[in-house]
Structure 1
Amino acid sequence: MYLDIEKHADSRLVKPVARECCVYCGACVCVNPSPGVGFENGELVFDEESIVFDKDLQVCPVINPVHSTTYPKPPVMEGQTIDELLGPYLEICSTRSTNEAVLRKAQIGGTVTSLLLQGMKDEVIDSALLVDKEKGWIGKPRLATTPEEIIELAGTKLSEASVLTCWRDAIKAGYKKLAIVGMPCVTIAEHLIDSSPDFKEFSDIHKLKIGIFCMEAFNYRGLFTEFLKDNQKIKPSNIVKVDVKGRMIIHEVTIEDKIAVHTYGLKELHKYSLLGCLPCHDYTAEYADISIGSVGSEDGWNTTIVRTELGKKLLDSAVASGLLMKKELEDREHLRNVAALKKKLKIGEKTREPASKVTRDWIVPERVMNEYNYGILKPIIRETAREKGSQVLW
């Protein structure tokens, strides 16, 4: 079921939608630390009575999809190219770290870690919001304040981690130049916080935003417990590395102390993705200063989209210092095609609604519909069905 967010933003559906479709960015906890809302052992703790609508939900990237007309898009800057699939950018290239310690820890290429190291060296940043992992690959937010911690936290963690919950910790600790690293939902939530006059304590901090390409994130219990542990007999504690590039590649330590490699198609894993990821159309983290992925680059290299002058200055500095290698992107059309898949709009075709229209809708889970099926849902469902006809959005 899909609901138009601008017509039904005040309905009592908002809180259960936020609960069931949470993408674990941590924005609500960041702006309103409450004992009723939080994250424990990779799971959401959500007491609807603890939610303050005007404070918590205005920063939720699920309740406020990026292409909604309710808040501004990323500012267009001089010299940017505006691409309907990739967002605004100054430059697109392939990059790779030259630091062996970084490459040993990184998923692919090591560009994110190298940019953070260069940022610390240049005093562009003094801290970074990153993700650590506990035993069993449970994601855990962490504030890194030294180059050693940045290298330690390199590499993909895969499960949700509520990274923005550490933003308030950075403020309390007195850090003034913060780097935020996260998937598109994190950069969107950061933009929502930054754009609101209610959260000036956060927006006053200088921020470098590094976005990570993302088709979808996965529910910890579904992917690691139900699929890998119960179905594939792979203990999460034995996983040493995960690569995602068109497929998921799991590196597991066996009882013989050898590395076994398991490969899974992303379609096979789609049912374990977070429900809140389904209406998202931002593949390349369009709200970041610089966005990093791998699609379009050769193996071992990162695809790097420079969006702002801050991102360009940092990348140029890392290349000049020898910390990063840079070359022309190998396959830009492949990158654009993958981005088009997430926007539900094939290049050159006009058979589907544009992303700016589709992303104004919420997905309302069936269990929420069942829970709230008295009174309020029936007229909304009838109205929405009448407006949209029988068309399937995706």
Structure 2
Amino acid sequence: MTSTSAKRLIPEHLCARCGACVPACPHSVLALDAELFPYYARESACTQCRRCLAVCPGVAVDFRAPAADRTVVHPLLGAYRDVYQACSRDAAIRERASSGGAVTALLSQGLRTGALDAVLAVTMRPGDPTRAAYVLLTDPAEAERSGQAKYQIAHLAEVLPEIRRHERVAVVGLPCHIHALRKFEALEPDLGRRIVVRLGTFCNGVCEREGTLYLLRRLGVRPESVRRLEYRRGSWPGVLWVEHAGGAPVAIRRDVYGALLYLYLAERCLYCIDLTAEQADLSFGDAKWANAWGEGRWSHLIVRTQRGAEFLAQLGSSLELRAAAPADIVCEQAYQFDFKKRRAFLRLRHRRPAPEYALTEPPVTSGGRLRETLFMVAYRSRPLARWILAAVPRAMLWEMSRRLFGRIRRRRTPGSSDVSSPAGPAAPVGRASP
């Protein structure tokens, strides 16, 4: 039976494609198809144990009760203990990073000191650098090379069982990966014992791999000729940089290709309400205002749990930290919070079945409803937009995308009239001492 004709585990619009359901099954019933949706490869072997659904973040995530060791609950950020801005003290790591290199610095330092013996993170596959994949890393140099954002879906199906071969593992993931991991740990506590820390990254939505292939086509690069691909190379906010066999490396600025990736936004991301990885131990995001002000490269860092605080205290010498406030993130990410924490509930009303979050629907302004209507019209028109844009000359397409992405970002850039900016740069506090 092929994956196209096989029975899917859950409806496509619910599936985050994290892959956690595959190793959760004790009878190897499930597999992932080419688009990473789980299906019944051996349905006759299914015993209806429902372990696959127990670990599924697409069906339900409980945001109500924060862990007992979290001290503050913020309506947009979730539960947390402290908020910082952070960057790596290693200039080489910082320059290769999407923003401050804080995640990479902690992972590398952890592997070098023995605080960690493995790291579960996303890299571009060595044999196919156009495809993102989770790998288990044990070499600090490999951890450093795995830095930067990957604007593509990646799954845990193959690597999650490998955690059992190690004792001190750090896991880096998007909010949906962290949700799945927490649910998997509840099912298998021994796996949770081996995970030292969960590092979550801010996410407003992830793109289909086809989005990357689309950009390559517009650049005139054959996917099979790609030798290396980076999404955020160079000076902030970076460029999509492609080294290929057909000639000199090519690149597109982040502010040019950003809007084009919305043409390939995964549908499940429309119904997600977690922007800042609320169930992680430590959460990280691009400190756009600090970077736009020319202060160097910085990341937002939210300390959420006692475990996260202890990990930061142990390895924080690899970071430069400065004091920050929740308002810094809320103002900067105003559009994203509106999209995820308010307007997402409007989408949930009209898509059934819907994921269960056990939360009360927040109020949405008339302006928010209008923005949502316009967004959904644009989202549902993506096939038509792709067809039309195929005929647009490349230079014109780049300029159109740059202008559109600029309008999208205007709500959360310094000087915007739509949000309240923090008073200025945050004050340095030196090394971590949570």
1:193 matched to 2:184: yes
Q: Note if 1:125 corresponds to 2:116.
A: yes
Q: Within the alignment, does 1:27 sit opposite 2:20 as a pair?
A: yes
Task: State the match for 2:30 in structure 1.
Answer: 37
Residue type matched to 1:113 in 2?
T
2:56 aligned to 50, 57, 60, which one? Answer: 60
Q: Which has the higher contact order (CA 8 A, sep 6+)?
A: 1
Deviations 1:354-389 (A, max 9, x none): 99x86996459xxxxxxxxxxxxxxxxxxxxxxxxx
Answer whether contact 1:128 1:144 (CA < 8 A) is retained.
Answer: yes
- Using the TM superposition, give the Cα deviation of residue 115 of structure 1 relative to its aligned residue in structure 2, in angstroms: 1.2
User: How many pairs were matched up?
Assistant: 336
For residues 258-269 of structure 1, the aligned pairs below 5 Å read 259-262=250-253, 263-264=255-256, 266-269=258-261
TM-score (norm 2): 0.67
**Identity score, percent:** 22
Distance, in Å, in 2 between the alignment partners of 1:280 and 1:332 is 19
Return the alpha-carbon distance in structure 1 between the equivalents of residues 252 and 78 of structure 2: 35
Aligned: 1:327 with 2:318:
no
Q: What is the rounded CA distance, in whole Å, between the counterparts of 2:147 and 2:309 in structure 1?
A: 22
Give 1:278's aligned amino acid: L
Cα contact 1:137–1:159 (8 A) shared by 2: no
Q: Are positions 1:310 and 2:307 aligned together?
A: yes
Question: 1-side partners of 2:353 and 2:331: how far apart?
Answer: 29
In the other structure, the counterpart of 1:386 is: none
CA distance in 1, matches of 2:332, 2:351: 25
1:106-185 to 2 correspondence within 5 Å? 106-121=97-112, 123-134=114-125, 135-163=128-156, 165-171=158-164, 173=165, 175-185=166-176
1:74 paired with 2:66, answer: yes
**Partner deviation per Cα, 1:316-346 (whole Å, 9 max, x = no partner):** 3434x3x211123483332452452243428
Q: Distance in 1 between matches of 2:339 and 2:227?
A: 32
Partner of 2:75: 84
Determine the structure 1 residue equivalent to 2:431.
Answer: none
Q: Which residue does 1:292 correspond to in 2?
A: 284
> Helix, strand or coil: the match of 1:345?
helix
Matching residue within 9, 12, 25 for 1:15: 9
Report the CA distance between 1:162 and its aligned residue. 0.9
Task: Note closer, same or farther for the CA distance 1:126–1:229 as it changes in structure 2 (3 Å cut).
Answer: same
State the partner residue of 1:224.
212
Paired with 1:66 and 1:247, the residues of 2 have a C-alpha distance of 34
Q: 1:231 to 1:47 in 2, by over 3 A?
A: farther
Give the drift of 1:21.
4.2
**Conservation of the 8 A alpha-carbon contact between 1:21 and 1:276:** yes
In structure 2, the gaps of 5 or more residues are 1-6, 292-296, 356-368, 377-434
SS at match of 2:158: helix
Separation in 1 of the partners of 2:65 and 2:238? 32
SS at match of 1:117: helix
Residues in 2 aligned to 1:34 and 1:272: alpha-carbon distance in whole angstroms: 34
Distance 1:39 1:156, change over 3 A: farther
Report the CA distance between 1:164 and its aligned residue: 5.5
Question: Counterparts of 2:345 and 2:273 in 1: how far apart (Å)?
Answer: 12
CA separation of 1:119/1:57 partners in 2, compared to 1, >3 Å: closer, same or farther?
same
Report if aligned partners of 1:143, 1:166 keep a CA contact under 8 Å in 2.
Answer: yes
Structure 2 equivalent of residue 4 of structure 1 = none
RMSD, matched Cα: 3.6
Structure 1 position 309, deviation (Å) = 2.0
| Structure-2 change in CA distance of 1:109 and 1:241 (3 Å) | same
Bigger drift between 279-288 and 292-301 goes to 292-301
In the alignment, what sits opposite 2:360? Answer: none
Distance 1:77 1:116 in 2: 23
What code does the residue aligned with 1:120 have?
A: L
| Alpha-carbon distance, 1:202 to partner | 2.1
Shift of 1:289: 0.5
1:178 CA displacement: 1.4
Letter in 1 for 2:334: N
Tell me the distance in 2 between the aligned counterparts of 1:210 and 1:55. 25
In 2, the alpha carbon distance for the partners of 1:232 and 1:123 equals 43
Q: Deviations over 1:112-151 (max 9, x none)?
A: 1111123335544221111221224211221112322212
Partner of 1:252 in structure 2? 242
Contact 2:303 2:309 in 1 (8 A): yes
- 8 Å CA contact 1:239–1:250 kept in 2: the answer is no
CA contact (8 A) 2:98 2:286 kept: no
